[in-house]
Amino acid sequence: MKKLFSLFLSLAFILSCGFSTASAKTYELKIQTSLATSSMYFKTLERLKKNIEELSQGQIKVELFADGAIVKGFEIFDAVSEGLVNGGMSWTHWASGKHPAGTLFSAPIGGLGYGLDQMAQLSWMFEGEGLKLLNEYYQNILKLDMMSWPVLPMGPECFGWFNKKYTSHTEINKLTFRAPPGVPAEAFKAMGMPVVSMAGGDIIPAAQRGAIDAAEWIAPGEDIVMGFPEIWKHYYLQGLHQAISIGDVYINKTWFEALPKHLQAAINVAMKACVTDQLLNGIKVNSQALEKMVREDGVVIEETPADYYPAFMKAARTVIAKYAKDPFFKKVHDSQIAWAKLTVPFQVRSNGLYYMMGKTAMDEGIITDYK
């Protein structure tokens, strides 16, 4: 009898849980992205969508929109804040026109000129002051009703595409080069490089009519989709202008804070999982693309000239110092420099180990380079 009563209680509990979940209030999260559906990063956001929906047990329904479907890329910040959509995806350095500190969060040029790498930047975000300062930037400095999560690590972005092998940055400085707008372009100009900025879709036509000599975009997985191997054959992988590049997902703050605590927790967990998804998937997609470009498209992988690194990092420090007169910019910058001083000595040694492991395997012929 006791067993029967216990079984009845268990069944009642299961049914009540099922009834509770089925009758719980549901919420819609519409995320306007700055990405085409063909982008690897859009595919990572599809994983984020799935994780949020599953962790919330269906209480949150997520809808993703491709670039420009509801609003244009540069309108996403205001659209999320005003509730036109309650979610968005963009890059904080796109907001640097509103306040220059934006570039420090998603694209601090040359690792600030202090050697900060992307993994250490992510560590600063989630284990240091970064996430707190990022939301202070949007909510207190830009006065937007919005929360931000840095979830799409895209770096290191490649130096770019060129028409031949170059042995020094002084040779490269003579080329008209497509660079990202804003602070990265300022650093190139400080090095003496004549750079121009244009949208991604304008790069190939500009190259075809001779308006530019070289260009950068993102990394192999995205560059191959853009068609760069059809224009240039010399690919320089090591770049400093966006050695750190991180895309963010935004949610309207009022909407998020109105959610039950367990649904807020589900979103927070899914956002952090998205970082891992992108890091792991990025290795696969970029490796597959680079192999195809070399073996099928005749692309040659070149080493970035050694004198480029100190020249760019010096230029980065010069450009950043100009903006550090602003109190909030300085506050963020000081926090990052402190993190760099803590992490760079360790990261240099651990990253150096992985480099030597791979190089040794390639030198011994155990791993063959793409040919």
- Dump pLDDT digits (tens) for 16-48: 444 445 568 999 999 999 999 999 999 999 999
Average pLDDT over the chain reads: 92
Structure tokens at 363: 């030198």
Render pLDDT for 197-240 as a digit per residue (tens, 0 to 9). Answer: 887 889 999 999 999 999 999 999 999 999 999 999 999 999 99
Closest CA to 274 of 8, 20, 41: 41
Contact 183, 100 (CB under 8 A): yes
User: Considering the entire predicted model, what is its pTM?
Assistant: 0.90
117-145 tens-digit pLDDT: 999 999 999 999 999 999 999 999 999 99
Structure confidence at residue 13 (pLDDT): 44
| CA atoms 170, 172, 175, 181: torsion sign | negative
| Of 129, 104, 158, 116, the residue nearest 347 (C-alpha) | 116
Please report which confidence band the pLDDT of residue 2 belongs to, taking 50, 70 and 90 as the band edges.
very low
